[in-house]
Chain A
Amino acid sequence: MKKTLVEEFVEDPKHMRLYQQERAIYQVTELLESLMKELGVSRAELAKRLGKSRGWITQLLDGDSNKTIRTVADAFAALGHEFCSFSRPIEIATKASEPISSNGVKKRRRARLLAERVRKE
């Protein structure tokens, strides 16, 4: 079967690393944005809480500037949340739909813990 462009692109290890970097940036910025929406916190409000400008928040959410883990954790903390992360073996195309939202992450974690408990029982 013919490979997709994504599959061809990530065959090069350099491109795969770049792809994974962009994927992580995408997931974190989407998570942050969905959390802001869920909590009703505007960009201006988050900027105020962090002591930054609105433009700085836009840069953070666009994912174009390279922010540190400390900065990201600080943004989540300003929203009253902990920044959690997990790793797994690389899987480009998912077999099931995986929504990116703070709720989605919680649901997946809950489902995994439940499955583990059932397996033990």
Chain B
Amino acid sequence: MATEVPHTEVVAKGAWGTVEFAVRQSGRVPAKEFFNTLTDKARARFLVLFQQMANAGSENVSAKRFKKEMGKLFAFRHEVDKRQIRFPCIQDGNRWILTSGFAKPGARKGLGKWPKSAIERAQAIEAEYWARKQQAEAEREQR
């Protein structure tokens, strides 16, 4: 029997809900891979933000730190050591699923926007997440 790859890994858990990394079909965890490239300070800063979200929900996180970006994509945001870091995510009930992570190219004119590749990547992971979830639910019903 093939081992089932989990959909997510829990990052933070609190009274409101959870923040989780999306796990791809291949077993790769893009948001975690990016997270692990960050400095200890940056990681601590984001973990505080993720835990705050899990404890109290998005209403208690300022728009500066957490914002709707495009379509169903939101993002956790921080500037650490002059780098603007973003973790795109999607909402699934009381869960925020982190799709990926990246550093914005810069705040200068024309460079401030999200790179096209980062948007496409986040959207692809989002689509895969919903498809895998749907498939898992269908399999559960069959059993």
Residues of A within 8 A of B (CB): 2, 4-6, 9, 14-15, 18-19, 21-23, 26, 30, 33-34, 61-64, 92-100
Contact = CB atoms under 8 A, between A and B. Distances in A.
Contact of A97 (B13, B50, B51, B55): B55
B89 interface: no
A15 B48 CA distance: 12
A interface, over-half SS: helix
A99 B60 contact: yes
A99 B56 contact: yes
A100 B60 contact: yes
Chain B interface size band reads 20 to 34
Contacts of B80: 64
Contacts of A63: 45
Contacts of B56: 94, 97-100
Contacts of B54: 93
Interface in B18-75: 18, 21, 32, 40-41, 43-45, 47-52, 54-57, 59-60, 62, 64
B61 to A, nearest CB: 8
A33 B41 CA distance: 22
Given A94-B15, A99-B56, A9 B44 contact: yes
Contact of A6 (B16, B45, B50): B50
Contact of B44 (A2, A18, A62, A95): A18
Nearest to B12: A6
B16 A22 contact: no
A-B pairs, 8 with minimum CB distance? A18-B44, A94-B55, A5-B11, A22-B44, A93-B14, A97-B56, A99-B60, A22-B45
Contacts of B60: 97-100
27 contacts: A2-B10, A4-B18, A5-B12, A5-B47, A6-B51, A9-B44, A9-B47, A15-B44, A22-B44, A22-B45, A23-B48, A26-B49, A61-B64, A62-B79, A64-B81, A64-B82, A93-B14, A94-B56, A95-B15, A96-B15, A97-B15, A97-B16, A97-B55, A97-B57, A98-B60, A100-B52, A100-B60
Given A61-B64, A97-B57, A100-B60, 18 more contacts: A4-B18, A5-B10, A5-B11, A6-B12, A9-B44, A15-B40, A18-B40, A21-B44, A23-B48, A26-B52, A33-B64, A34-B62, A94-B56, A95-B15, A96-B15, A99-B56, A99-B59, A100-B52
